[in-house]
Structure 1
Amino acid sequence: MSLSSALTIATSSLKATQTAISVTSNNIANADVAGYTRKTVAPQTVIVSGLGNGVSLAEIQRQVDAGLEKRTNAARTQSAEALIIAAYLDQLQSAYGSTTGDDTIATKIGDLSSSLQALSTSPASDSDAQKVISDLADLADTANGLTDSIQDLRQEADQSIADSVAAVNAALHNLDELNNQVMRAQATGVSTADLVDQQMQQIAALSEQFNISYFTNANGAVSVYGPGGVPLLTDNVHELSFTPTSPIDATTLYDPASSTGLSGVSVGGQDITGFIGSGLMSGLFTVRDETLVAEQKLVDNLSAGILDAVNAAQNAGTSVPAPNSLTSSEPITGTDALNGSGTLRVALLDADGNVQSYADLDLSLYATNDDLVAGLDAIPGLSAGYDADGKLVITSDDPNLGVGLGQISGGVGASNETLSAALGLNDVMVRSADGKLSVRSDIATDPALLARGSLSTEATLAIGSKGVASGDASAVNAMIDNLAADRTFPGGGGMATATTDIASYAANLIAHVAVSASEAEASAEIKAGTLSSLESSLAGKSGVNLDEETAELSLLETNYQAAAKVVSVVQEMYKTLLNMI
């Protein structure tokens, strides 16, 4: 071997070792950088005319198990979805309170029952009546608070979807720029290993949001396809679109077939919401459009039970003094069939509950609501008609007299409710258009308007006699019985249809949310554990081990010194040879 060949070989070794030292040093410097993978460069023999002529280095490579990397991203998608659902259910549980809490909707129902028991023993007590009204208001506020909490969480989820869409679009644009840098580097022979690390970091960010598929093209650019196979990044970015909604209430829903309501996520005008099967975004849609909507229906079921229980009793009773005017809770269509039977007593009462006049109406004689209104309006001293909203209004012509109703027999409709209850003429609790409960405004300010007894159903009433007997607590007792009676609550949201009393259903609802939150947390922990295990495996295969890199650096230093020695020896030999000439 000639001296020139020896020098060439030694010099190539120096260059190769310098590059290897640079790669190893870079590994050590980036050991704690998130997303960085260990880089290696493999030496290869240079062959000239069949003979070894030094060493060169192959392209710098990322030490990554691509299959494990994809499995880790898939686990990241699953974990993100489970974690966000668990987080929202945890907040929902906080709003409902614990099963042993003393300030929940179940305890509010208990408080109301207790105050009703006190009023039943002293029905003439306005202070006891005021306590009942206060407990009714507290119960309404608590039910409304649950609705507010649910809708606030839906509002939060909706905004978080908008944030997720912005994060996806930002990641796609970042990846598109990285693709351009990789293609330029590859075209000029520059290592792309570190740029590929950054590409995969963007892929990881996308994987957290929803289910994607991706592959690397021959030119080094990464193409990404989203839910339903929709292209997100090809030669250019296909952005996601989403319009956040505010405010959101119980009536605000997502319907992909409608142009109104909550927004879905679309790409190029195509709604892909239904294809988003996992990930953070999927969890947010599940919470906004399914979980919390179902929970609102359960709260509505409870509220409906409360309304029915207290209003049925109030409508069957009469306060002293009786209200001067009664108005139906909802608009009434005059031509609708009344479907009434039995006898309704209508009385005009003075401030002490004494009968001034009365009439008994045979409800079977009135085919429609209009017929009933005409019959009521024909009673002397009474006016009946519809207000501007289409609600039935029954008013005493004398402002000093009140209107009392009593269902002597029969009722209205398939459930045979009292006419007053069917039309909501004397409700104590009302529900607004947005589903909120409240105590009827006049009763809230005047406890005397809370019905304690009932209009007498004696065959005949003497004018001037008591329309409501002194000490009568029949309406109060009816309210107590209604709250304690079993009724059927529709199922939904993981709760089965139940036949139970209102307080028990409220307690079951709290327990249901607690169980759902616990199950979601357990699922999130399992999926987070799976992700953590895969990330650890990936880090073990692709991460930087400082001990190994330090040892490698020492070996390279030795190799460098050996190659430098060869160069030095060859140079001395050249010098000796020149001196001989």
Structure 2
Amino acid sequence: MGSLTSLLSIARQALANSQTAIDATGTNISNQHTVGYTRKTAVFAESDTVDVGGSLLGSGATVTIVSQRDRILEQRMQQQTQADGQTSARLTALQSVDSIFQTTTSSADASGIGSSLDAFFNSFSALEANPTDGATRQAVLTSAQTFATAIQAASSQLTSQATDLGQQVSGSVAQVNQLTSQIAALNGKISSTSPDADAGDLEDQRQELITQLSGLVGLSQSSTANNGIALTTTNGTPLVGGNISYNLTAQNVGGSVHVFGQQNGVSTDITSALSGGSIAGDIQARDVDIASAQTSLDTLAFDVATAVNTQNSAGKDENGAVGGNIFGVPSSASGAAASLTVSLTDPAGIAAASGTDGAGGSTNATALAALGSGKIVGGETPASFFGSFLTQLGTTISGATTDETVTAAELTQATAQRNALSGVSLDEEASNLTEYQRSYQAAAKVFSIVDEMFASAINLGVESAVS
């Protein structure tokens, strides 16, 4: 009777184990499309044997539900998410910069810098041929104003884009703080409920939050006691430690949004140290790419305006006086594009004649027109300098496009490797479900046989006496 009781216990345990495995399979199937879900598998293990009168008797098996998770694959996917977040954010910003300088039919906006520059120097050539004509003189001032307006517009749009990127950084920092707070809370739950074993859905939730965080900021991750995870930025600024999160802050520094974090208890500017994630991409686009474009525009505006003012001051205007400045420009190149104005309002003030010319001379108009082909902007002609700027911008965008394509492909590959282990395959789950159902039926059959044997024993072999 004792052996039957043991066999009944084993059958009962087998039924429970099979049902647990069936339930895990059903959970997998129902979560096939759940973002961040990790496939669960049933792992069966033989229970300890029992020594009865010198004979070792089995006591059935146990089942453990294990999440199919690989830390190395998870971290690789996070690293690729960080890289793709940065390259994608930078490329988006660069494409917006490129749109500023796209050629249109209008020359009175940012896209018309090149055409307005050509028209401006061509107006001096027209003045050279007809230095006393009022309409021709007015055309010089009009073309000067068109050039100033175009370069101001470009500078203004670059400044606006830089401001927008700063606002995006502020918003992303707020998202980072929200995510790190949730991750720290999950660390606490996992440490209290499953400090030494797989925490199942709680770990899935934590991992998904870390993946989202990786899209915003570059991370370094390490495991801690009680199944916890510690997170820092790539430069070591703490974000999460145990059930405590450390907030980043976005602060205005010199008119630009900077990111600060806690290092050794001190708030430290970590803006230039960040890498990975959309925050780093936005900062790179703002502080490197847009800043470089703004510097080029400032150089163009300052050098052209300075050369024209200097040459105009070398001649005589229509009234025989020494020529003055045509452009209003600051004392240095910094900010020249944004502040460039046409300070000369009277067309008569254009110094077409040289000091030795008589009335109606055009020697200085010839010299002014020659500036268009002179190497007056950074050792290049104005047109060549602006063309080089556009070429460099195109090269930068092309490189950024290639970088984004590479990181996106690497992220896809890393995600596929992770999903091959952790994702749900309906074919595999259908096979497992069939196996576990048959196992359940087999255990039920054993249970039924033992029940019949018990009944036979109770009835002393007379099966009809007691059912």
**Do residues 140 (structure 1) and 42 (structure 2) align?**
no
- 1:410-433 CA deviation, whole Å, 9 max, x = no partner? xxxxxxxxxx7xxxxx11111269
Shift in Å, 1:475: 3.1
State the partner residue of 1:386. Answer: none
TM-score under structure 1 length normalisation: 0.71
Secondary structure in structure 2 of the residue aligned to 1:243 = strand
Shift in Å, 1:207: 2.3
Query: Which of the residues 337, 348, 367 maps onto 1:478?
Result: 367
**Do residues 65 (structure 1) and 70 (structure 2) align?**
yes
CA shift in 2, pair 1:101/1:14, >3 Å:
farther
Count of residues in correspondence between the two structures? 444
State the partner residue of 1:167. Answer: 175
Alpha-carbon separation, structure 1, partners of 2:106 and 2:43: 66
State the partner residue of 2:258. Answer: 263
Question: Does the aligned pair in 1 maintain the 2:353–2:365 contact within 8 Å?
Answer: yes
State the partner residue of 1:203. Answer: 210
Moved more, 264-273 or 433-442: 433-442
- Structure 1 residues 146-545: aligned runs within 5 Å: 146-186=154-194, 192-235=199-242, 236-244=244-252, 252=254, 262-267=257-262, 268=265, 269-321=267-319, 404-405=321-322, 426-431=324-329, 434-435=335-336, 436-443=338-345, 446-454=346-354, 456-457=355-356, 469-487=358-376, 489=378, 499-545=379-425
CA shift in 2, pair 1:183/1:262, >3 Å:
closer
Shift in Å, 1:487: 3.0
Structure 2: which amino acid aligns with 1:88? A
Alpha-carbon separation, structure 2, partners of 1:521 and 1:315: 47
Alpha-carbon separation, structure 2, partners of 1:439 and 1:186: 69
Alpha-carbon separation, structure 1, partners of 2:103 and 2:69: 47
Question: Does the aligned pair in 1 maintain the 2:170–2:257 contact within 8 Å?
Answer: no
Shift in Å, 1:8: 0.7
Cα root mean square deviation, aligned? 2.6
Shift in Å, 1:244: 4.2
Question: Does the aligned pair in 2 maintain the 1:162–1:244 contact within 8 Å?
Answer: no
CA shift in 2, pair 1:437/1:475, >3 Å:
farther
Shift in Å, 1:239: 1.0
Question: Does the aligned pair in 2 maintain the 1:40–1:63 contact within 8 Å?
Answer: yes
CA shift in 2, pair 1:547/1:101, >3 Å:
farther
CA shift in 2, pair 1:553/1:287, >3 Å:
same
Shift in Å, 1:290: 2.4
Alpha-carbon separation, structure 2, partners of 1:278 and 1:179: 24
State the partner residue of 1:87. Answer: 92
Shift in Å, 1:515: 1.1
**Do residues 56 (structure 1) and 62 (structure 2) align?**
yes
Question: Does the aligned pair in 1 maintain the 2:181–2:245 contact within 8 Å?
Answer: yes
Question: Does the aligned pair in 1 maintain the 2:326–2:344 contact within 8 Å?
Answer: no
- 1:309-335 CA deviation, whole Å, 9 max, x = no partner? 3212322233334xxxxxxxxxxxxxx
CA shift in 2, pair 1:276/1:191, >3 Å:
closer
Structure 1: which amino acid aligns with 2:39? R
- Structure 1 residues 105-120: aligned runs within 5 Å: 105-120=113-128
Secondary structure in structure 2 of the residue aligned to 1:40 = strand
Secondary structure in structure 1 of the residue aligned to 2:194 = helix
Question: Does the aligned pair in 2 maintain the 1:242–1:266 contact within 8 Å?
Answer: no
Structure 1: which amino acid aligns with 2:240? L
State the partner residue of 1:366. Answer: none
Alpha-carbon separation, structure 1, partners of 2:259 and 2:432: 53
Alpha-carbon separation, structure 1, partners of 2:359 and 2:17: 108
State the partner residue of 1:19. Answer: 20
Question: Does the aligned pair in 1 maintain the 2:307–2:376 contact within 8 Å?
Answer: no
- 1:449-480 CA deviation, whole Å, 9 max, x = no partner? 333324x44xxxxxxxxxx7333223322210
Larger Rg: 1
CA shift in 2, pair 1:225/1:190, >3 Å:
closer
Secondary structure in structure 2 of the residue aligned to 1:229 = coil
Secondary structure in structure 1 of the residue aligned to 2:48 = strand
Q: Percent identical across equivalent pairs?
A: 26
Shift in Å, 1:262: 5.0
- 1:203-254 CA deviation, whole Å, 9 max, x = no partner? 2222223332222334222222223323221241111122146xxxxxx57x
Secondary structure in structure 2 of the residue aligned to 1:97 = coil
Secondary structure in structure 1 of the residue aligned to 2:47 = strand
- 1:519-560 CA deviation, whole Å, 9 max, x = no partner? 111111112111111111111121111111111111111111
Question: Does the aligned pair in 1 maintain the 2:328–2:343 contact within 8 Å?
Answer: no
**Do residues 571 (structure 1) and 446 (structure 2) align?**
no
Question: Does the aligned pair in 2 maintain the 1:265–1:273 contact within 8 Å?
Answer: yes
TM-score under structure 2 length normalisation: 0.88
Question: Does the aligned pair in 1 maintain the 2:179–2:209 contact within 8 Å?
Answer: yes
Structure 2: which amino acid aligns with 1:227? T
Secondary structure in structure 2 of the residue aligned to 1:470 = coil
- 1:349-379 CA deviation, whole Å, 9 max, x = no partner? xxxx5xxxxxxxxxxxxxxxxxxxxxxxxxx
Question: Does the aligned pair in 1 maintain the 2:318–2:360 contact within 8 Å?
Answer: no
Question: Does the aligned pair in 1 maintain the 2:325–2:343 contact within 8 Å?
Answer: no
Alpha-carbon separation, structure 2, partners of 1:451 and 1:196: 77
CA shift in 2, pair 1:262/1:46, >3 Å:
closer
State the partner residue of 1:343. Answer: none
Question: Does the aligned pair in 2 maintain the 1:99–1:510 contact within 8 Å?
Answer: no
- 1:486-544 CA deviation, whole Å, 9 max, x = no partner? 2351xxxxxxxxx3211111111111111111111111111211111111111112111
State the partner residue of 1:36. Answer: 37
Question: Does the aligned pair in 2 maintain the 1:309–1:483 contact within 8 Å?
Answer: no
Alpha-carbon separation, structure 1, partners of 2:433 and 2:201: 20
CA shift in 2, pair 1:488/1:117, >3 Å:
closer
Secondary structure in structure 1 of the residue aligned to 2:433 = helix
Structure 1: which amino acid aligns with 2:342? R
